[in-house]
Amino acid sequence: MNMMQKRDSGLSIAVGFVMILLVIAMIIGMWAVVGVPEQVRDAEEYHAVKVTNAFLDYKIAVDSQRTGGLTGSEVSMLIPAASAYADGVLVMKENVGTLRVYVDGTLKSTTDISRLYATFGTTNTRIGYEAGGVYRNDYGHAAWVTPPSLTIENSGGDLYVKMVVPKMQGSFAVGSSEGIPVDTLLVTPSSSSSEPVNQMITITYTDADAWDALLWSRFFSEISETNIWNPIEGVSIESSMPTSTSASLKITKVPPATLYLTITAPEYHVDVRRYYI
């Protein structure tokens, strides 16, 4: 009888121990399913902020080259592409979209837009520099952190439309488990002089990627909406999205104002450091 009781007692202890192990395993499993992905997401979101700040610093640096007229100068920046959980990739692509400016219906300028961007972790987040602006794209939904440079001002009854459209040359895709150093050379800080416009300026952007066209459409819409709530005297501004891959902004003067257009198109050469690759 005592032996049976001891045997039952030992069996109960063994079963209880197994149950404890199962509970521990379930807790670990739930942590792996819920806790780890959440930690990864938090880490990648924190890293996304670091990458965004790096591209904002990059924008400030290349803008300073242009405004300072520092032809032949080179800016070196470290883009922290890799996150704590995964390697990162820095990509430079030419001709991702086309920006056209029409003056009174006649094509004035055409600029092929390039894009420098970083992707990391799950690659669902891309942060980059395009046409002088910094953007963030999450799962195909993009927003400007700071938009390209386009200003419309009324001074002394005259209207001045000023655009800065950087021309970036270079093509590469580099992966790393660390930061990636990028060199940007200012080839020329060229600028076209102001010229009067009879009636209207139309700016269009086209891109095969619908998300990018929508990004520009929102930029144009913001300019148009700002003019509604805080109108600029002597001008009418309309934005539209004719197709899923194109966006348009129409700026029309209201007499007797005179409309002037200035397009600044600095040229840069972008590359990763030679010793790095």
14 vs 150 pLDDT, higher one:
150
Q: What does the block give as tokens for 199?
A: 């009636």
Q: What is the pLDDT of residue 33?
A: 44
Radius of gyration of the chain from Cα atoms? Answer: 27
Mean of the pLDDT values across residues 43-50? 81
Q: pTM for the complete prediction?
A: 0.83
pLDDT digits (tens, 9 = 90+) for 87-99: 889 999 999 999 9
CA distance 89 to 53: 17
pLDDT at 184 > cutoff 80: yes
What percent of the chain is predicted at pLDDT more than 90?
59
Residue 82 has pLDDT above 80, yes or no: no
pLDDT digits (tens, 9 = 90+) for 2-35: 555 555 555 455 555 556 655 555 554 444 444 4
A 10 A CB-CB count for 40 gives 16
Reference 89, options 129, 124, 120; nearest CA is: 120
Does the pLDDT value for residue 136 go beyond 60?
A: yes
Q: Which amino acid is at 117?
A: Y
Instruction: Tell me the average pLDDT across 161-178.
Output: 92
> Is residue 80's pLDDT more than 80?
yes
Identify which has the larger pLDDT, 270 or 39.
Answer: 270
